[in-house]
């Protein structure tokens, strides 16, 4: 029997998806478990012993490395520094290292950049792991295995949630589809998936059952690049199946996901998502400047009134979180002020503003490379102010304008004003009507103690919001608390303590 240790690197604090400061309110260590690794775990032979160390919730110790015959490491580009540290530590142990995932796939030359790694399993593991395991059995393994085909997602296994410490996470995650119907210039999704592929409703229900039997109750993030890539399948098959499943079990889960702005034009799809238990959707708005949208080929946003689209989604019962990018060639000098005004009027509380990054295997990277404008490797973190390309705008103006915008958007004055706008427009969803959980009650008391008493710059805005909510939208009081906590996290990460 072989022993395999799955390793997930530590995520940097200064990212939007870490939620470090927010998680402290509910006593959790990380937002999500490493879905890729626990999916890969289901592909190994049943007789192999498998363990998982997620370094975001526990420390990697010497005894873990001594135990393993093989280490499987995966991660995103943002995990590079942590992954390098892991590889350095592994040098002193007689353990074979297997690596896969975007961090290694998007490296220009992974075999040279990561000499410590024995085997690279690149592309979709459902196609590349089996040939490696077959060669391993014969004693003829290669260093590089790279998928040349794309799998039918209906053959993807149910993730091994039994390997994780479920109580350490604030949310679970599932995947329904891979790929996106659009092809934005800066995005590398097409390099990972050429089109939209989906699981069927029976698979998704089986995964929900798996989570339910494991004891999970609460938030589930559907991690798709674009959940609505095949809208008819959702409205005709998948969402009705989820609705039936939720009703049968008295709605144990709430869902959130990522989608494109064309969601706003499909009222039936929104209605079914809300009925199924979705309460939040992340949308890539990126720019409100038409020429910049044309430049990056974000066609789905070009003929839409972005502000009205956001409002219509909010009114239907979905909180809109959104991504914005600064640094396009066509961004005018007025972009910072215009974007600030748009974010405030939209009521988008979690506005994830980043600087453009030229990522390998994207059309943007290839264009800028031809133009001689690439400066250095992308960190994978769009809050990194070390630009990796030469922008058309003066770099110092771009970076300082970005920092100033972020501080204004996340300031207590600006942020709490947006929360009121959202709550005033928002239709209460099923998730807000459910009884408060212990974690929510605990978070509320911590929020009052910290935001309402100790944080002097913030407390008057916090109390003003709570009293306003009680008077005008009492059913949304838990959401007001949650958004206050998110605002605190965003300020601590990118505002007051900007590094």
In this prediction, residues 175-182 reach a mean pLDDT of 95
What does the alpha-carbon distance between residue 101 and residue 83 come to, in Å, rounded to a whole number? 12
- Residue 242 reports pLDDT greater than 70: yes
Indicate the pLDDT class of residue 465, thresholds 50, 70 and 90: very high
Q: Nearest CA to 361 among 143, 136, 52, 110?
A: 110
Q: Of 372, 31, 315, which is closest to residue 169 (Cα–Cα)?
A: 31
64-78, 122-136, 401-415, 434-448: the lowest-pLDDT one: 434-448
Which DSSP letter does residue 265 get?
A: G
Owner of token pair 């005008």: 472
The separation between the first and the last C-alpha atoms of the chain, rounded to the nearest angstrom, is 48
pLDDT, tens only, 341-399: 999 999 999 999 999 999 999 999 999 999 999 999 888 888 888 899 999 999 999 99
- What is the share, in percent, of the chain residues with pLDDT greater than 90? 84
Tokens of 353: 């503003």
Residue 430 has pLDDT above 80, yes or no: no
What sign has the CA pseudo-torsion 56, 349, 493, 339? positive
The per-residue pLDDT for 496 is: 52
Q: What's the pLDDT at 498?
A: 44
With 90 as the cut, is the pLDDT of residue 83 above it? Answer: yes
Please report which confidence band the pLDDT of residue 39 belongs to, taking 50, 70 and 90 as the band edges. Answer: very high
Beta strands in 313-445 (DSSP E): 319-326, 351-355
Which tokens belong to 413? 């004055």
Per-residue confidence band for 192, with pLDDT thresholds at 50, 70 and 90: confident
CA 52, CA 32: separation in Å to the nearest integer?
14
pLDDT at 186 over 90: yes
Cβ atoms of residues 206 and 158 within 8 Å = yes
- The listed CATH number (3.40.50.300, 3.40.50.280, 3.40.190.290, 3.40.47.10) that belongs to domain 3-146: 3.40.50.280
Phi (first) and psi of residue 325, to 5 degrees? -125, 135
Look at strands 197-198 and 351-355 and give their pairing: unpaired
* Average confidence (pLDDT) over 311-324: 96
**In whole numbers, what is the pLDDT of the chain averaged over residues?**
93
pLDDT confidence bin for 499, thresholds 50/70/90: very low
Q: Give 301's Cβ-side CA count (13 Å radius).
A: 28
Mean pLDDT of 436-458: 87
Q: Which CATH class is domain 171-425?
A: alpha beta
Say what the pTM is. Answer: 0.94
Q: With 90 as the cut, is the pLDDT of residue 434 above it?
A: no
Residue by residue, DSSP assigns 335-370 as: HHHHHHHHHHHHT-SSEEEEE----TTSHHHHHHHH
**Which residue has 């870490």 as its token pair?**
18
Cα 71 versus chain centre, distance? 25
φ, ψ of residue 95 in degrees (nearest 5): -135, 135
Q: What percent of the chain has pLDDT over 70?
A: 97
How many residues are given for the chain?
A: 499
Residue 308 corresponds to which tokens in the numbers above? 């009205």
CA–CA gap between residue 103 and residue 34 (Å, rounded): 14
Who contacts 392 (Cβ-Cβ below 8 Å, separation ≥6)? 329, 330, 331
Confidence grade of residue 495 (pLDDT, cut at 50, 70, 90):
low
Predicted pLDDT of residue 431: 54
| 199 CB-contact burial (10 Å; exposed 0-12 / middle 13-18 / buried 19+) | buried
| pLDDT of residue 473 exceeding 60 | yes
Q: Give per-residue burial for 72-84: e unless 16+ CB within 10 Å, then b.
A: bbbbbbbbbebbe
């Amino acid at each position: 029997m072989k022993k395999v240790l799955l390793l997930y690197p530590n995520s940097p604090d200064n990212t939007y998806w870490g939620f470090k400061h927010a998680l402290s309110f509910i006593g959790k260590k990380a937002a999500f478990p490493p879905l890729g690794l626990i999916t890969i775990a289901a592909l190994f032979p049943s007789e192999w012993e498998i363990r998982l160390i997620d370094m975001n919730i526990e420390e990697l110790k010497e005894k873990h490395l001594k135990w393993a015959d093989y280490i499987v490491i995966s991660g995103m580009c943002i995990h590079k520094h942590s992954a390098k540290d892991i590889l350095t530590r592994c040098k002193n142990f007689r353990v074979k290292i297997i690596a896969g995932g975007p961090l290694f796939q998007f490296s220009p030359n992974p075999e040279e950049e990561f000499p410590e790694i024995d085997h690279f399993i690149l592309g979709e593991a459902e196609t590349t792991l089996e040939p490696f395991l077959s060669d391993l059995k014969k004693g003829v393994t290669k260093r590089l295995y790279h998928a040349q085909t794309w799998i039918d997602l209906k053959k993807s296994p149910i993730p091994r949630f039994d390997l994780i410490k479920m109580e350490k996470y604030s949310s679970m995650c599932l995947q329904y589809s891979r790929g996106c119907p659009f092809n934005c210039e800066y995005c590398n999704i097409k390099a990972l998936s050429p089109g939209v592929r989906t699981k069927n409703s029976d698979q998704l229900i089986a995964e929900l059952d798996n989570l339910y039997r494991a004891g999970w109750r609460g938030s589930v993030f559907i991690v798709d690049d674009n959940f609505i890539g095949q809208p008819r399948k959702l409205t005709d098959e998948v969402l009705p199946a989820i609705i039936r499943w939720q009703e049968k079990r008295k709605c144990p889960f709430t869902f959130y996901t990522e989608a494109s702005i064309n969601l706003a034009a499909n009222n039936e799809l929104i209605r079914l998502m809300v009925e199924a238990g979705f309460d939040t959707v992340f949308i890539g708005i990126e720019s409100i400047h038409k020429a910049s949208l044309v430049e990056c080929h974000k066609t789905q946003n070009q003929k839409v009134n972005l502000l009205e689209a956001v409002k219509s989604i909010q009114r239907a019962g979905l909180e809109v979180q959104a991504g914005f990018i600064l640094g396009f060639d066509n961004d005018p000098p007025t972009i910072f002020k215009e974007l600030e005004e748009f974010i405030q009027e939209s009521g988008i509380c979690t506005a994830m503003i980043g600087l453009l990054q030229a990522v390998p295997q994207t059309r943007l990277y290839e264009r800028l490379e031809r133009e001689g404008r690439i400066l250095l490797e992308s960190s994978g973190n769009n809050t990194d102010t070390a630009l990796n390309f030469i922008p058309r705008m003066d770099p110092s103006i771009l970076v300082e304008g970005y920092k100033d915008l972020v501080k204004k958007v996340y300031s207590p004055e600006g942020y709490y004003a947006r929360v009121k706008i959202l709550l005033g427009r928002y239709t209460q969803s099923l998730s807000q009507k459910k009884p408060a959980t212990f974690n929510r009650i605990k978070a509320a008391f911590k929020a009052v103690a910290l935001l309402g008493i100790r944080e002097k710059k913030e407390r008057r805005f916090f109390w003003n919001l709570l009293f306003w909510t009680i008077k005008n939208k009492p059913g949304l009081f838990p959401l007001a608390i949650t958004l206050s906590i998110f605002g605190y996290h965003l300020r601590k990460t990118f505002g007051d303590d900007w590094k």
